[in-house]
Structure 1
Amino acid sequence: MTSPRFRRALAAAGAASALAAASLIAISPAHADDSGLPGSELYANPFSTTLEAAQSLSGQARADAQLLGSIPSAEWFTKGTPAEVEAAARLYVDHATAAGEQPVLVAYNLPFRDCAQYSAGGAKDTAAYEAWIDGLAAGIGGRPATVILEPDGLGIIPWNTDINGGAEWCKPAELDPATAASDRYAQLNHAVDALGALGATSVYLDGTHSGWLGVGDISDRLIKAGVERTAGFFLNASNYVETERLVKYGTWISDCINLSEKSWWEPGWCASQYYPANPGDFSTWGLSDAAYDKAYADTGVVRDAAAQAHFVLDTSRNGTGPWAGPAAPYTPGGDPEVWCNPPGRGVGAQPTTETGIALVDAYLWIKVPGESDGKCYRGTSGPLDPERGVEDPAAGQWFPAQARELISLSQPALAPLACEVHVVGTKVAKGFIAAITVRNNGATTLSPWTVSWSFGGAQQITKVVGGSYAQSGADVTVTAPRVASTLRSGKTTAFVVTGKGAADEPWLFRLNGAACTSR
């Protein structure tokens, strides 16, 4: 079989999905009494950009991409016309809904996103953005979904003045200084309302991270962006801050918003990681905890975890924490860009909606681990990354060396995939025939064994020798025959599949639900 090209995003415009809808737990904002994200099973896209990257790799690099691709990561929607993003979102949510799992979508198309830096792009203006968001919302429809709304959208605001009256650095000449910041809030409020109106979609706004904005500043921005009409906010997108710091920071933001919404309290009065705590000494952060206890006592407001803003954390690359940077700048006064493909980082906690923390709805992999942050010059003229000695891939492109680092330094450790699939296939007439060999590399005997996958197109199985099969839409499961139902550790089994349609090899196989590498 040959590798398929994913029928994704822009290529899917106007296509209708053949997948049947399955019911999921409905999602409601955390400001209400109930949130649907905790307890949900997160969706691992079998047609993800990570598994797409694996198709052009071999050896360890291929195995690394397949391992990371087997774990749920968010799907980024970054461009296209309203009709195109509607079709792309519908196709993605169709697949997740059919699997009975929770899709996580990242909306990343604000005008002047990232202030035209490494991840430059976005809609032309407010009207174009609002139409694009409406298309995204139409694609999601009434199905449960989680939307990470605009990473950096509140951290980097064009022509913004911070809560202390300081002018910020992002000043695009193309935008009107008098209206650019208010336009950003109008754009985000429209998105909050359009997505919130769907009824089963949890929306999270940008809460930056504890190495960036102070609690009062980001709380003020979240309130202006409509956080009270969402599930809450997200932290650490595409960054590296340790989980324990993020939990403190997020809790303070939730408290700051709660105090400001329920009393005479002002966000500018909120304690933070900068005061009375010392940002560089985590042992002092209890001082800010005490400041919030006093603020609650002074205002008479009561903490209510069920009703306060909740948050989610990006743990995709924070296993070893942030990079301190080089001992000395590469050029005098140069920016070491500690956020850009830093060396020696590892993935953190795997995605889950069971965090054990009332205000934390999930640990998510928002940034796709293994995809580059951009061409990092670190204050030099480039094109090489002076820290790595190579030219880094463009933002969003696969970076095999970084993927290897993230896996080898993961905390907690990522185990290799415990099964291996080898496919030998060929096209015949209007279909295909393929011999599939599966090796159980795990420690457990499987009885019976099952092998499952999703096709990338309209392929239909007509016969399986060496097992029975069931197919629903693109999803196929082959079950062991009674006479050979046991697959011991270290042993292999094989079966032959005949079908109609393109001879495209699926990107991900699973043995009894556990992902496999494939050669």
Structure 2
Amino acid sequence: MDKGARRRRALPAALAAVALLIGGGGVAAAGPGHHHHPSRGTSFYVEPDSNASRQAAAWRAEGRVADAELMEAVAKQPTAIWFTTAGAEQVRTRVRDVVRAAKRKNQVPVLVAYFVPYRDCSQWSAGGALSEQEYREWIDAFAAGIGDDKAVVIVEPDGLALMTSEPWCAIGPDEELVPQRFREINHAVDALKRGRRTKVYLDAGHSAWQALNDYDAGYGEPRQQLGIVNRLLRGGVTRADGFALNTSNYRYTADLVQYGTRVSKCLYLRTHRGATACPTDAELDALRVHERKMTHFVLDTSRNGQGHYTPGEGETDWCNPPDRGLGERPTARTRIPLVDAFLWIKRPGESDGECQGGPPAGQWWPEQALDLATHATPPLR
């Protein structure tokens, strides 16, 4: 049996073991029970005209039947729709059009708001609003486009996990931009939650990125960095429906569930038990808390079928790594109490940036799409 087969067989058992860690414990404090998470029967929106569907048609016309069938299978899956460009009125109209199209099909769209100033630390996906005021107007228009219709919104990928205060991020001064970032994320939460049926999840990186607790960055001059739990709290997660993990990344689902459960337990301890920091991982794993008292999360499984990549010299593990695969199909039926949905947030086949052979960030890359489909776990067919 190959390693991939062993991993596929082990995955359900690993997820079940992590789910048991949540458990039903004797806790008395009220939790985030006022949030209404996507129902298990939710059908997410499938675009009728996507890059994958157009690529499938082109390959079929060229006689590449097997490749076309793989792309057709990809095109049948719901993927998130990203909003990344300036213009409040334009984003209002575009969001409204998507929401209405989904409503006509009795489906729920997954939308990504990606326009915060200094996004991606001005790297491959540089851009975003030029000021806090522009961002407020943009996100208000985004929320207005949804209105009281159903939608799931992922708020600002990397917005909390990748801030201007990161030691290698030469944008500043931090004492101004970090508070600004938290104000922007909080404003997004409040604007979006005015929609009666909008589900809001704050992006929180992935399981191999930020520590749970605050830490000393240790790059030359000591710089105290906020851990992800403090970042989520300061970003307004208690007023949202939860957080999102693994956006545009490749971490195994079981690893993400374990990490997300620890984050959620620590949020519970911070907000209900008066804790000032997270205990050890072992203590968190042993802690029993009923899932109704805890913060839920969603996972991006669009590219984690083969897990993360071990880079060679001159490579990265996050930017267009080869031989990855599509992961669990988008669904709200995860069988994991804290995980509201598996989603394809990163659109399969869209480049991470001009690295490891890729075109500019967000551009369709047929070769990568085919690679992901070929290595899908579980298989597409």
Structure 1 residues 105-116: aligned runs within 5 Å:
105-116=111-122
User: How much has 1:54 moved relative to structure 2?
Assistant: 5.0
Q: Where does residue 279 of structure 2 map in the other structure?
A: 270
Flag the structure with larger Rg.
Answer: 1
The alpha-carbon distance between structure 1 residues 156 and 31, as it changes in their structure 2 partners (threshold 3 A), is farther
Match for 1:292 among 284, 288, 310?
A: 284
Structure 1 residues 125-136: aligned runs within 5 Å:
125-136=131-142
CA deviation string 1:241-282 (max 9, x = no partner): 000000000000000000000122123x333xxxxxxxxxxx
Q: Where does residue 361 of structure 1 map in the other structure?
A: 340
User: How much has 1:171 moved relative to structure 2?
Assistant: 2.6
Match for 2:191 among 189, 194, 208?
A: 194
2:234 matches 1:224:
yes
SS, match of residue 256 in structure 2: helix
Structure 1 residues 50-199: aligned runs within 5 Å:
50-52=52-54, 54=56, 58=62, 59=64, 62-159=68-165, 168-172=167-171, 175-199=172-196
CA deviation string 1:285-316 (max 9, x = no partner): xxx2x41266x5xxxxx723123110001110
Q: Distance in 2 between matches of 1:30 and 1:145?
A: 19
Q: Distance in 2 between matches of 1:49 and 1:30?
A: 38
- TM-score (ref. length: structure 2): 0.83
2:371 matches 1:392:
no
Match for 2:292 among 287, 306, 309?
A: 306
What letter is aligned with 2:83?
A: F
Structure 1 residue runs without a partner (length 5+): 1-28, 161-167, 272-287, 297-301, 331-335, 377-384, 386-390, 416-519
User: How much has 1:125 moved relative to structure 2?
Assistant: 1.0
Q: Distance in 2 between matches of 1:307 and 1:145?
A: 24
- TM-score (ref. length: structure 1): 0.62
Q: Distance in 2 between matches of 1:53 and 1:107?
A: 26
2:42 matches 1:40:
yes
**Cα RMSD after superposing both structures:** 1.9
Q: Where does residue 242 of structure 1 map in the other structure?
A: 252
User: How much has 1:44 moved relative to structure 2?
Assistant: 0.7
User: How much has 1:118 moved relative to structure 2?
Assistant: 0.8
Q: Distance in 2 between matches of 1:31 and 1:266?
A: 23
186-195 vs 75-84, greater mean Cα deviation: 75-84
Q: Distance in 2 between matches of 1:265 and 1:48?
A: 47
2:292 matches 1:315:
no
What letter is aligned with 1:210?
A: S
What letter is aligned with 2:354?
A: K
43-52 vs 251-260, greater mean Cα deviation: 43-52
Q: Distance in 2 between matches of 1:37 and 1:394?
A: 36
User: How much has 1:63 moved relative to structure 2?
Assistant: 4.3
The alpha-carbon distance between structure 1 residues 355 and 361, as it changes in their structure 2 partners (threshold 3 A), is same
Q: Distance in 2 between matches of 1:152 and 1:255?
A: 22
CA deviation string 1:51-96 (max 9, x = no partner): 3555665435554433312110000011131000000000000010
Is the CA contact (8 Å cut-off) linking 1:37 and 1:202 kept in structure 2?
A: no
Q: Where does residue 263 of structure 2 map in the other structure?
A: 253
SS, match of residue 200 in structure 2: strand
What letter is aligned with 2:208?
A: G
Higher RCO (CA < 8 A, seq sep 6+): 2
The alpha-carbon distance between structure 1 residues 53 and 411, as it changes in their structure 2 partners (threshold 3 A), is same
What letter is aligned with 1:313?
A: L
Q: Distance in 1 between matches of 2:329 and 2:233?
A: 30
What letter is aligned with 1:357?
A: I
What letter is aligned with 1:366?
A: I
Structure 1 residues 393-408: aligned runs within 5 Å:
393-408=359-374
The alpha-carbon distance between structure 1 residues 52 and 148, as it changes in their structure 2 partners (threshold 3 A), is farther
Q: Distance in 2 between matches of 1:371 and 1:310?
A: 28
| Richer in helix (by share) | 2
SS, match of residue 297 in structure 2: strand
The alpha-carbon distance between structure 1 residues 405 and 179, as it changes in their structure 2 partners (threshold 3 A), is same
Is the CA contact (8 Å cut-off) linking 1:154 and 1:222 kept in structure 2?
A: yes
Q: Where does residue 285 of structure 1 map in the other structure?
A: none
Is the CA contact (8 Å cut-off) linking 1:74 and 1:106 kept in structure 2?
A: yes
The alpha-carbon distance between structure 1 residues 63 and 80, as it changes in their structure 2 partners (threshold 3 A), is farther
What letter is aligned with 1:374?
A: G
SS, match of residue 410 in structure 1: coil
SS, match of residue 322 in structure 2: coil
User: How much has 1:110 moved relative to structure 2?
Assistant: 0.7
Q: Distance in 1 between matches of 2:165 and 2:211?
A: 19
Is the CA contact (8 Å cut-off) linking 1:31 and 1:229 kept in structure 2?
A: no
The alpha-carbon distance between structure 1 residues 70 and 263, as it changes in their structure 2 partners (threshold 3 A), is same
Matched pairs, number = 334
Q: Distance in 1 between matches of 2:113 and 2:40?
A: 21
Is the CA contact (8 Å cut-off) linking 2:35 and 2:241 kept in structure 1?
A: no
Percent identical pairs in the alignment equals: 41
The alpha-carbon distance between structure 1 residues 361 and 90, as it changes in their structure 2 partners (threshold 3 A), is same
2:322 matches 1:343:
yes
| Richer in strand (by share) | 1
User: How much has 1:199 moved relative to structure 2?
Assistant: 1.6
User: How much has 1:409 moved relative to structure 2?
Assistant: 1.1
What letter is aligned with 1:78?
A: T
Q: Distance in 2 between matches of 1:198 and 1:34?
A: 12
